[in-house]
Structure 1
Amino acid sequence: MEIKNQDFLKKENLRLVLKMISDDGPISRAEIAKKMKMSPTSASRIVALLNRINLIEEVSINQRNVGRKANYFALNKNGIYFIGIELDGSYFRLGLMNFNEELIYKKTIDLQNSHPDIVVQKIKEEVGELKQKFHLTNNHILGLCVGMPGIIEPNQGIVNFSVQLQWKDYPLKDVLQEQLNIAIQVDNELKMKALSEYKFCGDSVNHLIILGFGSGVGSALISHGEISRGTSNFAGEIGHTIVDPNGTYCPCGNFGCLQTYIAEPFLLNEAAKIKKMDSMEELIREMENGAVWAKDLISRAIKYASIAINNTVCSFNPDMVILSGTLIENYPYIQEELLKEYSSTIWGPAKDSFEVKITETKDEGVILGAAIQMKRYFMENMEFLEGEKI
């Protein structure tokens, strides 16, 4: 037991020193020892290990003080990488993030078939091409995280159910780990996008809600930098809150779910009762050409999206609400009208308690957030030290 406790303390010191270098670097060994209240020998040993495994690097800085020159260390931002993936029904996006949380590469790949075996094979091929492009080995990549729609069990990486992909009880983490031989995480896409949005919000934001309006409707809450998950990781699934028990059937099995009044597939199904529409672009065009029924349908979706904002604000009392998703990001009319409309539905005491913004990360949000989540996992667990003498 004592040996295990010692190993834990050593890993914790490594994690804290790495975080200090990340936050305060360039920094010297002496400064690390002083701030960490550890011996110079211990600080030197930890710095040497982090340097050996390419997490930090020695840097030169201009010094005005006369005396013995100190060695300074900063993150080796291009020594190791994390891969983030956004998986949807018709495509997936892949991004490469360095240790400094900078997205240095992204690519969108169309999917003709969303069967899990085909998707896994495509991911394997694209990761292989990515490694070749940047001359990377598995030692350079500390892990890959997939953000996707649906109910995900994040610890085991099992896709319990995804309406968009029609997957059920699929062990995506285990399958990808076997194929790629690197650490894998799987999580809900909107939770991953929330992480990336939080990164750019500044220290004044403690409670952030992101709302996604697109092929489905969902939300995610970041509180003091941590994802709020609930017991089974489906906190925020507001799309399946029921607004009319006699309403439209939802693939979840209920009737009148909120998303059936807002999400793209349901809007197109409703439009088809009057005129077949193959895309939201066609529906918007129909409205712009003067079709009253099309404007009414879109206006109703905007009203229910406003209700979704009010309901999440009343439930979670955030100081920031981020609006995202294809309906917001791809259609200026819907974005502008929602920004005009939502305030009329907000509960009185909540009106001036929060700020509303449009997503800043847009189509990079999920892949960046997924890569950040992978980095967080390793910073907490330090699994890359397995086999290293600490």
Structure 2
Amino acid sequence: MVAGRKVDKVLMRQNNTRLVLNTIRSAGEMSRAQAAEATGMSIVTVGRIADELIERGVLREQEKDGCIGRPPRVLSLNGDRLLCPAAFLSREQLYLGLVSPAGQLCRQVSHPVPQESFTSQQVIPWMAERLKDFLHSLSGTAFQQTVGVVIPGIVDIDRGELEFSANFRWRSVPVVRQLEQALPGYSFVLENDSKAIALAEHSFGACSGCRNMVVLNLSDGIGAAVILNGEIYRGKDNMAGEIGHITLNPAGKICECGKVGCLQTQLSHRAILAEAGTVYPGVTFPQLLEYYQRGDPFAVGVIRQLTSYTSIAINLLANTYAPDVILLCGSLLRAHPLIPSLLTDSCRDSLSEYMQNTFQLKLESFGVTGSLIGGGAAALQQVLDRLCR
């Protein structure tokens, strides 16, 4: 019983430390009294935890600027000590960055991905070399040795494995193990791209402070991510949000996943260009939109298909999760400024009347860097969890 009480006391202390840290992180800054009120702990308990974390260099306490009279002292994360590297691998580019606890990119570089042999056996070692060079370039900067790695597809975050990526045509790739072998001394957190964007937008961007939101990622593949009651919802095996492989047309096109008629076969960036290429071989998205603006019947039909299937996807998400916000992001939005306006103008077309005004529709605020920022946020969360043990 004595040993049991000791374990309970240790767990309680760890949980209290984690709660104080996450509360301060979410708020950005707050006084000890505010932290006590927000967590429901006594100010003595919060003070003891804060003093320990200040001594360890995790928190800092300083006077709040711009106040009349005696300025209050506020706690915040020690941003200079909690910078986290992040990597985002897309089909075309590898993006590398150093992310602050406030979601700022302190450093960023990108490299075009070799296209001649896009296999995991070729790309992961190439990625490890680029990442090694980037980390070496940060010498002299105090940063954490935990790296957030973001990849599109179904990822097992506990095992650090990419289970399946239709975009990459990869299966069962032990990404974290391979990176750990190439870069000993570093640890890695693997995250899905849509969930990384949700973390970034919820923590720092267009959906900051929103309790319930859904991200719809319109890129080379179609994905979603859900935040419920302020926490990311992962579902079993981190598979929540894989809406790109919902069958919408059993008589439709064959998807890269092997099924027929997936949403992704109608709505992804590649699918739309492949459809347009049957009439205009080699057409780019800007060219397709130019034909659309001229009133070309085929181009008009292709773009109407884009807006129609986007409306269907939004309808599915709105009815399933009833969120406060649905946020659109991805390479389709970035392809041309006309696309976001077309989608926002028509996206409610498939909604039932009772769902029409139940949520806000927003556009991404970070663009392609959202995945990097979310990767840094995921890495920081692991760092903070480790500090609470």
TM-score (norm 1): 0.85
Distance 1:75 1:243, change over 3 A: closer
User: Partner amino acid for 1:363?
Assistant: V
1:53-72 matches, cutoff 5 A? 53-57=56-60, 59=62
Contact 1:21–1:27 (CA under 8 A) maintained in structure 2: no
Q: Residues 47 and 329 from structure 1, CA distance in 2 versus in 1: closer, same or farther, beyond 3 angstroms?
A: same
Aligned length: 378
Quick check: 2:202–2:209 contact (8 Å CA) kept in 1? Answer: no
**Separation of aligned partners in 1, 2:311 and 2:36:** 53
1:14 aligns with 2:17: yes
Counterpart code for 1:374:
A
User: Does the CA contact (< 8 Å) of 2:151 and 2:193 recur in 1?
Assistant: yes
1:81 aligns with 2:76: no
Change (3 A) 1:117 1:50: farther
Match of 2:254 in 1: 249
- Cα deviation per residue 1:40-92 (whole Å; 9 max; x = unaligned)? 8x945x555423432123535689999xxx98754321112112222111212
Partners of 1:226 and 1:273 in 2: how far apart? Answer: 43
> What is the CA deviation profile of residues 167-220 of structure 1, one whole-angstrom value per residue up to 9, with x for unaligned ones?
110111222233332221112100110111112356763211111112111211
What is the rounded CA distance, in whole Å, between the counterparts of 1:16 and 1:116 in structure 2?
39
Name the counterpart of 1:166.
169
RMSD between aligned alpha carbons?
Answer: 3.1
Give yes or no for contact 1:213–1:326 (8 Å, CA) kept in 2: yes
Distance 1:31 1:51 in 2: 17
CA contact (8 A) 2:251 2:261 kept: yes
3-state secondary structure, aligned to 1:9: helix
Deviation (angstroms), 1:363: 1.6
What corresponds to 1:377 in structure 2? Answer: 382
Contact 1:54–1:80 at 8 Å: present in 2 too? no
Alpha-carbon shift at residue 278 of structure 1 (Å): 4.8
- Out of 323, 334, 339, the residue aligned to residue 334 of structure 1 is 339
Match of residue 91 from structure 1: 93
Evaluate the alpha carbon distance shift between residue 287 and residue 172 of structure 1 in structure 2; reply closer, same or farther with a 3 A threshold: same
Unaligned runs of 5+ in 1: none
Uncovered stretches (5+) of structure 2, i.e. residues with no partner:
none
Verify the 8 A CA contact 2:180 2:187 in the aligned structure 1. yes
TM-score by length of 2: 0.85
Shift of 1:111: 0.5
| Superposition map of 1:1-390 within 5 A | 1-2=3-4, 3-19=6-22, 22=25, 23=27, 25=29, 27=31, 36-37=41-42, 43=47, 46-47=49-50, 49-57=52-60, 59=62, 74-113=76-115, 114-136=118-140, 140-180=143-183, 181-199=185-203, 200-201=205-206, 205-288=210-293, 290-379=295-384, 381=385, 383-384=386-387
Q: 1:239 corresponds to which letter in structure 2?
A: G
- Alignment partners' CA distance in 2, 1:74 and 1:159: 35
Q: More deviation in 326-335 or 363-372?
A: 326-335
Q: Which amino acid aligns with 1:194?
A: A
Work out the CA distance in 2 between the residues paired with 1:61 and 1:193: 31
